[in-house]
Structure 1
Amino acid sequence: MHSCFQADLTSRVFGSWVDLRLSGGQERSSCACVSKRWLTLVSNIHRDEINNNNKGGVVYKVEDQDVEGDGYLSRILEGKKATNVRLAAIAVGTASRGGLGKLSIRGSNSTCGATNVGLRAISRGCPSLRVLSLWDSSSVGDEGLCEIADGCHQLEKLDLCHCPAITDKSLLAVAKGCPNLKDLTIEGCANIGNEGLQALARCCPNLKAISIKDCPLIGDQGIVSMLSSASFTLTKIKLQALNITDVSLAVIGHYGKAVTNLSLISLPNVSEKGFWVMGNGHGLQKLKSFAVTSCRGVTDLGLEAVGKGCPNLKQLCLHKCALLSDKGLVSFAKTASSLESLQLEECHRITQFGFFGSLLNCGAKLKAFSLVNCYGIKDLNLRLPSVLPCKSLRSLFIRNCPGFGDASLAALGKLCPQLQHVELSGLHGISDAGFLPLLETREADLVKVPYHQRPKI
């Protein structure tokens, strides 16, 4: 009773003292400085209700400074600084300068952290907000994000990470209120599902980048909707730890006409068929960078199909692909004529035959090769065929491949005479006997040769 009476009295005194809807930045900031309650009242005035004739007004002061970034004001609030009072202060303090353009809230104060009330203040004072990031914000829910959707129609980038109180309801509001959305990241949001993604797909025709990770309610329906609706605009896709199947990969292969960067991580329900169909979909003609981690669908057949279906692929990163063998790697190298960089990590079925076979069969553009933690490598005395050497390779990085020794290094020197950067680490079988042939066969000067394992003399 007392608190309600106090709030009503404050509002009446506030309204009779000055009509802030008609006053400039100095008057609003002065009122905001009176108390937290008056700050809240000021911050809840809509930006379009304020007369901006006085653009040189004094702004509400807070401890940390606004940062100019990408042409607009940016602010990052972390931990204890992420409170409703600070958000209200930001809304009031930046209003005379056009409002905040980028806001990141990372974590929150356990007792008085940022909630929907703080986002309401931002939505009313910063209508030009273009970028919003919410990380580990358990107290911010649908109501707050709906306020942003209702007041910040210029929003272009939305990043939600571990926000359990946000559901499809607020994504529906974002879809309707923010048609200019271009970049979407959702990670660890257990209550966001297919319905929210489908709404964004219908209403946001300018989507260019999506990153979806660890959302158990998101499946093929949501991913398929986004990919099929943004076929000619979507350039970057990252899908990680989702319950999607071969269907999603088939749609990527058919509708990914503008995709240049694709990352697939920990997709247990995607099989060899998914990668094969994706490669044969003939839609990934513009794909330049492809990264795969912990996907059992990456087999010899699947990787070969990707090589054939992606003629402009320049960078391939394979991590923990347990079923990929030498045969698949060499077949891929034969078809990927535009490849410039190849990275293999924890691919234990790859041996010397796959490593040297890919170098012998790669196109004329391969410049960099990285081999990390591949325990299938054994130091064999290989007799390389009398073929043209791989003169395009300039950079080689090999780390923690115990079987890579002197014989491999000597063969590498003969095969790749233009190497300029060689970095070796954790290789117990390397000695001077391997380095000397590498140095003697040089056609170009070695610029960098760091070695992090004491050689055997």
Structure 2
Amino acid sequence: MDEILCDELLREIMRRLAPSSRPTAALVSKRWFNLLRSATSSLRLTFLPSPSLLGHYTSLSSLTLVLSQAPCPNSLLVSLSASPYLRQLSILSSAISPSTLSSISIFLPKLESLRFTSLRPLSFRWLLLFPSLRELAVHDCDEPGEFHEDDDEGDDCNLSLESLSLGRIRAGELGLGWLWRRCGKIQRLQLRGCEGTGDPTARFFSGAIANLRELELRTCRAIADTVLVLAATHCRSLAKLVLYDGGSRAGLRHLASHLRGQSLRTLDLRLPLDLDNDHLLAISDNFRYLSCLRLQSCCLVSGEGLRALGQSAIEELGLVNCHVVEREPGLLTTLGQSLKRLKKLDLSHNELLLDKELGAMLASCRNLVEIKLRGCKGLSDASMVALFRFCSLLETVDIERCHGISAQGAEFLILGAPRLRRVYVEEEKVSERVRDWVSRKMIRVF
């Protein structure tokens, strides 16, 4: 068989292998080992590779380097010179300098995605040397000491960035005005752990967010209200908002009342002490076309607020670790009956959720293709019977850490669900017989 398959066909087969199967395939023969390396498109290393090593990965398009300390610029550049066709590069080390990034642009002129831990000093003018760059992520923008990058009003060159992720911008930081002024094309913005935007007057920041499709704020309480107000005023077509751990009630209410148009489709909130029923009522009134709502650890929300969403077009609902699921019997039944378009449901980490409540909801959720019940310790095998009985379209199930569900219950669902393609469950709950069966049915078990 090895002799019948040509290199091109065998290489294509190896590209389709699951990551867990590739080490085994590499042990078959030296030929298979070499073909597997040449077929590999993504690589993650914890050391700085030599050019001769990277030279074997001729199809490499994505490289992640996890280094314990900042790499020597010369050795890093020599290594990257062996992979001129890289499209995605991540350098996770202590820091990297703008001069090193400028040198990288010589070897990787077609780079489309760049991620690194921190930038010292904080300067972004090197971005002009990456004309193809579409995605940039800097985990730490907390520049020690005073640094200010003056904006050059005469420089009108715009960047091609479409996705930007920045972390730990200090309050009062002035070094990002140059970047915001040239980011008019960004469609996805993520801010993590930030105390400022790097543009205190919002002179350039407000223009940079005009074309946003996705906005994500994580642990940015100091600036959350300001950003939400600017988004409601300047964003023309915001489709997705993610807000975790920070945001006042006033800022949320302003966004729900003033966001332009009917573009918002996805709302993902983790606001334990900020989100209440008034916000859900405003969301129900103003975002008629909302298709995905995810609430995590929202302690102040009650059934009244959730029932207000009953006439919406929601297709994906997440109530993760929300006490209202356990506190108000019958709520899930009402939601199942009113949300006729529901296709994806996430009830993870509701430890006191019972079979009776879940089963009553599933009886009305005939269109479900995905359900996540991870960490629901109160469920038993009866829920697996309900899934099999009512959800014939089910393709993805997550029942990991559901201690009340036995190996027999998991096997019953895996063997019985006709369209099942992906299951998340503990390894000890899947017998060898079931593993053989799922491999023939192309079902992936995690």
- Fold conserved between structures, TM > 0.5: yes
Q: 1:83 — aligned with what?
A: 72
Residue of 183, 196, 216 corresponding to 2:163 = 183
In structure 2, do the counterparts of structure 1 residues 319 and 227 end up closer, same or farther at CA, with 3 Å as the change threshold? farther
Residue type of the partner of 2:135? K
Residue type of the partner of 2:214? K
Partners of 1:261 and 1:217 in 2: how far apart?
A: 22
TM-score, scaled to structure 1: 0.63
- Shift in Å at residue 262 of structure 1? 2.0
Residue type of the partner of 1:288? R
- Shift in Å at residue 158 of structure 1? 2.3
In structure 2, list runs of 5 or more residues that go unmatched. 1-49, 430-446
Q: How does 1:215-226 map to 2 (within 5 A)?
A: 215-218=194-197, 226=205
Residue of 243, 248, 267 corresponding to 1:264 = 243
Answer yes or no: is the 8 Å Cα contact 1:296–1:321 preserved in 2. Answer: yes
Higher deviation after alignment, 254-263 or 323-332? 254-263
Answer yes or no: is the 8 Å Cα contact 1:253–1:284 preserved in 2. Answer: no
Residue of 213, 218, 221 corresponding to 1:240 = 218
Q: 2:371 — aligned with what?
A: 396
- Shift in Å at residue 159 of structure 1? 1.6
Answer yes or no: is the 8 Å Cα contact 1:254–1:284 preserved in 2. Answer: no
Instruction: Point out the structure with max Rg over C-alpha.
Output: 1
Residue of 207, 231, 238 corresponding to 1:252 = 231
Q: Are residues 1:356 and 2:333 paired?
A: yes
Q: Are residues 1:104 and 2:90 paired?
A: yes
Residue type of the partner of 1:214? G
Partners of 1:115 and 1:376 in 2: how far apart?
A: 51
- Shift in Å at residue 104 of structure 1? 3.0
Number of residues paired by the alignment? 365
Q: How does 1:308-319 map to 2 (within 5 A)?
A: 308-319=285-296
Q: 2:189 — aligned with what?
A: 210
- Shift in Å at residue 237 of structure 1? 1.4
- Shift in Å at residue 366 of structure 1? 0.6
- Shift in Å at residue 405 of structure 1? 6.4
Residue of 294, 305, 310 corresponding to 2:271 = 294
Aligned-partner SS, 1:216: coil
Partners of 1:184 and 1:255 in 2: how far apart?
A: 18
Answer yes or no: is the 8 Å Cα contact 1:326–1:353 preserved in 2. Answer: no
- Shift in Å at residue 239 of structure 1? 0.9
Q: 1:342 — aligned with what?
A: 317
Q: How does 1:358-377 map to 2 (within 5 A)?
A: 358-362=335-339, 364-375=340-351, 377=353
Identity value in percent: 21
Residue type of the partner of 1:366? L
Q: 1:62 — aligned with what?
A: 51
Answer yes or no: is the 8 Å Cα contact 1:288–1:315 preserved in 2. Answer: yes
In structure 1, list runs of 5 or more residues that go unmatched. 1-60
- Shift in Å at residue 371 of structure 1? 0.9
Aligned-partner SS, 1:349: helix
Partners of 2:147 and 2:172 in 1: how far apart?
A: 5
Higher deviation after alignment, 166-175 or 234-243? 166-175
Partners of 1:360 and 1:392 in 2: how far apart?
A: 12
Residue type of the partner of 1:343? G
Q: CA RMSD in A?
A: 4.6
Answer yes or no: is the 8 Å Cα contact 1:168–1:192 preserved in 2. Answer: no
CA deviations over 1:106-137 (Å, ceiling 9, x no partner):
205xxxx8545533433566665544322146
Partners of 2:419 and 2:175 in 1: how far apart?
A: 54
Residue type of the partner of 1:309? N
Q: 1:326 — aligned with what?
A: 303
TM-score, scaled to structure 2: 0.64
Residue type of the partner of 1:181? L
In structure 2, do the counterparts of structure 1 residues 171 and 154 end up closer, same or farther at CA, with 3 Å as the change threshold? farther
In structure 2, do the counterparts of structure 1 residues 417 and 68 end up closer, same or farther at CA, with 3 Å as the change threshold? closer
Answer yes or no: is the 8 Å Cα contact 2:302–2:324 preserved in 1. Answer: yes
Q: 2:103 — aligned with what?
A: 121
Partners of 1:347 and 1:106 in 2: how far apart?
A: 35
Q: 1:55 — aligned with what?
A: none
Partners of 1:247 and 1:203 in 2: how far apart?
A: 21
Aligned-partner SS, 1:142: coil
Answer yes or no: is the 8 Å Cα contact 1:279–1:306 preserved in 2. Answer: yes
Partners of 1:294 and 1:381 in 2: how far apart?
A: 25
Answer yes or no: is the 8 Å Cα contact 1:182–1:206 preserved in 2. Answer: yes
Aligned-partner SS, 2:212: coil
CA deviations over 1:181-211 (Å, ceiling 9, x no partner):
3221112344783x45554343322111111
CA deviations over 1:218-269 (Å, ceiling 9, x no partner):
38957795355432x21121111111243432433444332223211111xx
